[in-house]
Amino acid sequence: MDPLHEEDLSPVKGLTHMYPDRVLLFSNHECSVYCRHCMRGRKVSDSTERMETADLELCFDYIRNHPEISDVVISGGDPLNLSDSKIDWILENLEKIPHVKICRLGTRNPVTLPMRITNDLCKIIESHNTDHLSIFCNTQFNHEKECTPEAKEAILKLLKAGVSVGNQCVILKGINDDGETMLRLHRKLLELRIRAYYMYDPELIPGSRGFRTPLAKGIQIIEYMRGKVAGMGIPQFVNDLPGGGGKVNLGPNWYLGFHKPSRNHVFRSAVRGTYHLSPEPLDSEYEEFYPEISEDTWSKLLQNSYSAFKGLGPLGEPGK
């Protein structure tokens, strides 16, 4: 099953062009692990889906003929399951396309086969991480138990090759579907020098049902994490919209709205749960942009939480 319609948006075999400036390139269909939640499970290890050198060349031709493409996300399978020489060849091809500025390697190998991140491989990656091409890596740690010393070493090698490393985790029911587990994972990732990137719900594929959690869980997880770990350790909870709609992010609502008469925005504090005011500039012409707080809500807020309003009087004047 192809939950995201990646194949409909595929102008040539192995390439998905959904966003104007970015493409997803499937380099190969081998992987070091079979993840039960894998959204590309349909392709992994399927020999009919093999990407031949000629297929990859057609992908490079397409990218070469589309100057709007500046960012190539290489995924699979797992691109780091290819041989060093093949990786060298792919990166060399991308590096030679003047409008391609960024290349991202989507790989779980730092987690699942950290010994794959060899010095030789890092030398190859570094040799293409140049003035013309900036190489990033997005990996997938889903639990702090996966943050092994071996993984840490693999990540450090990538960083030393100039590769910025981010993490894309998947919420898995019964494994990491609560704020505390995700918080511990992301604190540990920062120790491994990995920045949080995305957090996903598993895609609707056969076999993923047991892992699926309500959408609310993802929002609650982010709500729990905010204030407890550095911002660079908080992923964006994204939903990859079915039907090729792309990704959108969802988050808790810290913003209650705008109180027009006093020109104040009302926020909820993530650390304290209290309400706080922040004034809109007097010369702003954006009053209509904000959801409005009714007088009713406003007076309730003042009654219930006035003492918590930070440093501002009820009409947004500096407090005493």
Ligand X SMILES: *Cc1c(COP(=O)(O)O)cnc(C)c1O
Feature table: binding site for [4Fe-4S] cluster = 31, 35, 38
Does 5 contact ligand X by CB under 6 A? Answer: no
Q: How far is the CB of 65 from ligand X (least distance, A)?
A: 18
CB nearer to ligand X: pick between 50 and 247: 247
Residue 315 CB, shortest distance to ligand X, in Å, is: 42
185 with 150: CB under 8 angstroms? no
Query: Closest Cα to residue 197, out of 247, 236, 249?
Result: 236
Sign of the C-alpha dihedral, residues 56, 60, 65, 69? positive
| Number of residues lying near ligand X (CB under 6 A) | 8
19 lines the binding site for ligand X (CB under 6 A): yes
Residue 143 in contact with ligand X, rule: CB under 6 A: no
Alpha helices in the chain (DSSP H): 53-64, 84-95, 109-112, 119-128, 149-160, 179-191, 215-225, 295-305
Judged by CB under 6 A, the chain residues 65 through 84 that form the site for ligand X are 73
Which one of 15-23, 120-128, 206-214, 261-269 is the stretch in contact with ligand X (CB under 6 A)? 15-23
Residue 320, number of CB atoms within 10 A of its CB: 5
Q: Judge whether 90 and 74 are in contact, CB under 8 Å.
A: yes
Residue type present at position 292 = E
From 18, 25, 63, 189, residue interacting with ligand X (rule: CB under 6 A): 18
Q: What are the tokens at 124?
A: 């190859």
| Binding segment toward ligand X, per CB under 6 A, in 19-27, 252-260, 283-291, 309-317 | 19-27
Interacting residue ranges for ligand X, rule: CB under 6 A = 16, 18-19, 22, 24, 73, 240, 247
